[in-house]
Structure 1
Amino acid sequence: MIKIYHNPRCSKSRQGVALLENSGKEFKIVKYLDAVPSEKELTEIIKLLNISPIELVRKSEKIWKENYKGKELSDSEIIKAMIQNPKLIERPIIINKNKAVIGRPTENISTII
């Protein structure tokens, strides 16, 4: 089943949900600010996305700028920062079987559904 890591306050994330609804395919919404992924789960998502952890960070967030920007952080430390501050996780993330994309732009979602 398709899974979308969703933040209802984000317009791109809402667009992602709408695209999935219009696709007619079954999917599950994970509101990741409420159900924060575990370290293992986030590591798996990053592997599926085929990116480094820093590429999943929303670097424009105030939390990042005030606490992490300019620091030398290991991949593990970046993942821990995202778990402690889930607002830092780029969104939406869509997973379909063994493939994943960040839904920015929304058209990326069409490549895996």
Structure 2
Amino acid sequence: MILIYHNPRCSKSREALDILETSKADYEVIKYMDQLLSIEKLKELITLLKIQPIELVRTNEAIWKENFKNSDLTDDELIAAMAKHPKLIERPIVINGNKAVIGRPPQKILKIL
């Protein structure tokens, strides 16, 4: 089963969902703005994505600029900030088994379908 961590307000996330619908793949939508992600889940996603925590942060968000931009945060502090402020999480994140991608651009998810 494919998982998509989705924010319906995000156009890239909606495009990725359209790709999944068109592919006829079985998938589950996780609206992470409603179902907040735990620190443990974020660590798991970062490991699957094979990225550093800062690569999952939306650094153009006002929350980031106002609260964290000039801070020297540890990886754990970055993850805690994303858990507290889910708007900071890059989206969409699509997982298929042990493969995961950030769908920016949305066509990147085709690599793991």
TM over 0.5: yes
Residue equivalent to 1:98: 98
Deviations 1:56-82 (A, max 9, x none): 000000000000001110000000000
Q: How does 1:23-34 map to 2 (within 5 A)?
A: 23-34=23-34
Residue equivalent to 2:111: 111
- Cα distance in 1, alignment partners of residues 43 and 49 from structure 2: 10
1:81 aligns with 2:81: yes
Residue equivalent to 1:19: 19
Residue equivalent to 2:55: 55
1:29 partner letter: V
RMSD: 0.4
Identity %: 58
- Cα distance in 1, alignment partners of residues 106 and 68 from structure 2: 28
Where do 4+ consecutive residues of structure 1 move more than 4 Å?
none
Q: Once the 2 structures are TM-superposed, how far is the Cα of residue 36 of structure 1 from its aligned partner?
A: 1.0
The residue matched to 1:73 in structure 2 has which SS? coil
2:105 partner letter: P
Q: Once the 2 structures are TM-superposed, how far is the Cα of residue 106 of structure 1 from its aligned partner?
A: 1.0
Deviations 1:73-96 (A, max 9, x none): 000000000000000000000000
Q: Once the 2 structures are TM-superposed, how far is the Cα of residue 37 of structure 1 from its aligned partner?
A: 1.1
The residue matched to 1:100 in structure 2 has which SS? strand
TM-score (norm 1): 0.99
Q: Which runs of 5+ in 1 are unaligned?
A: none
TM-score (norm 2): 0.99
Q: Once the 2 structures are TM-superposed, how far is the Cα of residue 18 of structure 1 from its aligned partner?
A: 0.3
The residue matched to 2:54 in structure 1 has which SS? helix
